[in-house]
Structure 1
């Protein structure tokens, strides 16, 4: 992996909306966002001008939430700040193979549309990050059930060229401490690598336990990022 290969990770939302997720995108000029109920992320170029922000406002509507993810561009003063969160972008080293057993873990199942109510229930109880009724359309989601109940999950989110973001890593409180997150992330890493893509992820800087877990699994920190959200005028 070279620095050029990873450059697309500087604009993961924009690269995804222009590429792999173009069928899930709404676009106006150089502004883009996901269709409703898939994701709340929006993108403008790093060098966005007033016309780009005006186009995004028209896409989203008046007084709407604009989740700018890690976009460094600064909106006009009449865009109300909603949140700021410091985070970290982590990547899977190109020379590190996935553990072979992860791809053969029979306790891990692939989730589909029929599982969405259970996925939404698990997300509501664990709050791993934004997840909507159509978020599962972004990619593959894997889960673990205990006596029929979904107790752990992981999925694919942003898809810039050559990369797949691992997201929605969550385990029900009553099922923690059993290694479910390790099994699920390892299984998904194996799947991503099998199609010659590289896994990456984002984590809040204050979530030291998750950072330590991802480092044990083999991820390395690439850079610090700042997640920001705004309200359109």
Structure 2
């Protein structure tokens, strides 16, 4: 169904807006051409491909004065911000497409729920896989591996793009392993298990990685993910 594939590809060029105008609309807000997740869910925001002054003003209104937002967009270079805005940190990334990934359930993976949130926060605090805030875990399904009762690795779902089934894609995120348990293949197993759940819904697994995290990119390539586009995750501060 090429029309559905084209719709998913279009959503992937602007994942934040697609998520917040679709299946994750309860987790943020849009205003004009701008979009922003709630501040306790994700720092991500978005603008049109060629934003004008009104678009920047809409994003500033969604965020509030002097607030930080991570602008997510395709591209190879940092954004040209208007006067009053500050580029705090430029962050190049890549988007990886899992259309060919089937995944595989893992018998050792356990589903994580509200009672696991404190442990999930501690693990992400130790490993820094990416933004993890008070309500991030509400965005999708998370799986973990425990050792002697302690959570030592996890991965889960973050942005859900487009529609459901073949019209949609789900981003795999928060892939992390306690330093004492690295080198055992836990990250790969958990990504496979999360991907299997996404594929079972008829959706496409996708993920994002830092452009300089060559080890992660090699792992994801070996699993069947392909590089689809350069992405930016630039940290900005709104005008005061």
Which TM-score band (shorter chain)?
over 0.9
Q: Which runs of 5+ in 1 are unaligned?
A: none
Deviation at 1:113, TM superposition (A): 1.1
Count of aligned pairs:
228
- Structure 1 stretch 69-78 or stretch 11-20: which is displaced more? 69-78
Match of 2:10 in 1: 7
CA deviation vs aligned residue, 1:28-63 (integer Å, no higher than 9, x gap)? 333221112111111222232211211221221111
Match of 2:26 in 1: 23
Is the partner of 1:70 in helix, strand or coil?
Answer: strand
In structure 2, which of residues 211, 214, 219 is the aligned counterpart of residue 205 of structure 1? 211
In structure 1, which of residues 98, 102, 106 is the aligned counterpart of residue 102 of structure 2? 98
What CA RMSD, in Å, does the superposition of the two structures yield over aligned residues? 1.6
Match of 1:223 in 2: 229
| Aligned counterparts of 2:33 and 2:225: Cα–Cα separation in 1 | 32
Contact persistence 1:44–1:71 (CA under 8 A)? no
Equivalences for 1:167-178 in 2 at 5 Å? Answer: 167-178=173-184
Deviation at 1:4, TM superposition (A): 4.9
| Aligned counterparts of 1:119 and 1:90: Cα–Cα separation in 2 | 24
Match of 1:160 in 2: 161
Contact persistence 1:87–1:203 (CA under 8 A)? yes
Match of 1:58 in 2: 61
| Aligned counterparts of 2:64 and 2:51: Cα–Cα separation in 1 | 18
Deviation at 1:133, TM superposition (A): 1.1
Deviation at 1:192, TM superposition (A): 0.4
Q: Normalising to structure 2: TM-score of the pair?
A: 0.90
Q: Which runs of 5+ in 2 are unaligned?
A: 163-167
Q: Normalising to structure 1: TM-score of the pair?
A: 0.92
Is the partner of 1:69 in helix, strand or coil?
Answer: strand
